[in-house]
């Protein structure tokens, strides 16, 4: 089964149409993330007729365009600042990377707006289950919601923890067999369920997909987030209490939520569709890059602008070459 590669991401191709909705509107999410790929792959896959198809009763889309549109939210939420993660070890030699929950909540707030307005949580359901050797387990099921295209959408997650844990006797340290109670087990189960729900949207995707096992990737993320923080030297407008004005972040950049409220992205997409020449696209790129800098767009949105411009450039090149769009794909 062929793979299509775009920048640092790769997806497994299927023969099924993929709706342009994030998780909650459909069940499609990227299945794999590749190491950084050579830029030549982008041009190659984007221009191969066999990787194009035309959807019935809709405008024609290239395969990469559809995949890029579907993963746009995933790409924004999926990058994790290493300083908001911790390494952990468990019994049996298992180790990994954990994301601090508050970082996940901040990412959701940046993208959708304040909790309770742009995203939120419905009432959780807890289930207490007896385990082996008098242990007691608690499971939590929770639905999280977020606003997308003016509609409220939901994702679901399940988490669990031990309320009562059995501790074996340790003769070396003269410690008897005992049972320990955890008064925060319900909270841990709830946090686990909530983060499991929103990772379906891509929150912390790079950690959950094992990319933090690669030291080079972690170093890259450290550098990128440090550059983003250093690249914004301007102070945000502030309220009387010293906090940034609504729609601004401490680093002096705008929040994605505030930009979306102003329909800025819709305006950019519309102007992009109205460009039909390479010269016009170059002029549009310069104008929007300047606007992004002047209006203090976050780096994630600047990256999306670059990606959309490249996508349109490849589309115009294909149209100029009058390449046919095949409905079927070579498998």
**Which has more pLDDT, 8 or 75?**
75
Residue 3 has pLDDT above 60, yes or no: no
SS3 string, the chain, reads CCEEEECCEEEECCCCCCCCCCECCECCCCCECCCCCCHHHHHHHHHCHHHEECCCCCCCEEHHHHHHHHCHHHHHHCCCCHHHEEEEECHHHCEEEEECHHHHHHHHHHHHCCECCCEEECCCEEEEEECHHHCEEEEEEEEEEEEECCEEEEEEEEEEEEEEEEECCECCCCECCEEEECCCHHHHHHHHHHHHHHHHHCCCHHHHCCHHHCHHHHHHHHHHHHHHHHHCCCCCCECCCCCECCCECCCCCECHHHHHHCCHHHHHHHHHHCCCCHHHHHHHHHHHHHHHHHCCCCHHHHHHHHHHHHHHHHHHHHHHCCCCCCCCCCC
Residues 243-286 have pLDDT tens digits of 766 666 666 676 766 666 667 777 887 888 888 888 888 888 88
What is the per-residue pLDDT for 283?
Answer: 83
What is the per-residue pLDDT for 200?
Answer: 95
Residues 194-203 have pLDDT tens digits of 999 999 999 9
The whole model's pTM is what? 0.55
What is the per-residue pLDDT for 33?
Answer: 39
**Which has more pLDDT, 238 or 24?**
238
Residue 331 has pLDDT above 80, yes or no: no
The domains found in the chain, sorted by start residue, are: 31-70+263-320 (no CATH), 82-215 (3.30.390.80)
Residues 109-135 have pLDDT tens digits of 988 988 999 999 999 999 999 999 899
What is the per-residue pLDDT for 284?
Answer: 84
Q: Which of 81-85, 185-189, 257-261, 287-291 has the lowest mean pLDDT?
A: 257-261
What is the per-residue pLDDT for 50?
Answer: 36
Residues 25-47 have pLDDT tens digits of 443 433 343 444 433 333 433 44
What is the per-residue pLDDT for 12?
Answer: 36
Q: Which of 61-65, 125-129, 137-141, 171-175 has the lowest mean pLDDT?
A: 61-65
Across the chain, mean pLDDT equals: 74
Given a contact cutoff of 8 angstroms between Cβ atoms, the answer to whether 136 and 129 are in contact is yes
């Amino acid at each position: 089964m062929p793979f299509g590669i775009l920048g640092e991401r790769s997806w497994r191709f299927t023969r099924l149409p993929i709706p342009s909705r994030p998780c909650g509107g459909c069940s499609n999410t990227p299945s794999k993330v590749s190491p950084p790929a050579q830029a030549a792959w982008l041009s190659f896959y984007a221009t191969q007729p066999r990787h194009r198809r035309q959807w019935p009763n809709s405008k024609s889309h290239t395969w990469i365009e559809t995949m890029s549109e579907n993963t746009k939210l995933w790409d924004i939420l999926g990058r994790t600042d290493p300083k908001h993660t911790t390494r952990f070890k468990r019994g049996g030699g298992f180790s990994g990377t954990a994301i601090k929950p508050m970082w996940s909540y901040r990412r959701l707030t940046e993208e959708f707006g304040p909790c309770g307005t742009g995203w939120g949580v419905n009432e959780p359901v807890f289930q207490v289950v007896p385990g082996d050797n008098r242990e007691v387990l608690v499971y939590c099921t929770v639905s999280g919601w977020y606003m997308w295209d003016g509609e409220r959408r939901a994702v679901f997650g399940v988490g669990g923890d031990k309320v009562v844990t059995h501790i074996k006797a340790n003769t070396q340290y003269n410690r008897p067999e005992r049972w320990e109670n955890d008064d925060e087990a319900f909270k841990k189960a709830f946090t686990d369920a909530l983060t499991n729900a929103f990772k379906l949207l891509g929150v912390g995707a790079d950690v959950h997909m094992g990319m933090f096992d690669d030291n080079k990737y972690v170093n890259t993320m450290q550098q990128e987030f440090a550059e983003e923080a250093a690249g914004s030297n301007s102070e945000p407008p502030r309220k009387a209490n010293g906090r940034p004005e609504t729609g601004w972040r401490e680093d002096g950049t705008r929040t994605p939520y505030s930009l979306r409220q102003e329909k800025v992205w819709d305006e950019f997409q519309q102007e992009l569709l109205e460009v039909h020449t390479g010269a016009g696209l170059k002029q549009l790129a310069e104008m929007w890059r300047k606007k992004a800098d002047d209006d203090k767009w976050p780096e994630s949105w600047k990256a999306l602008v670059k990606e959309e411009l490249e996508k349109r450039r490849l589309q115009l090149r294909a149209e100029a070459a009058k390449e046919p769009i095949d409905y079927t794909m070579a498998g």
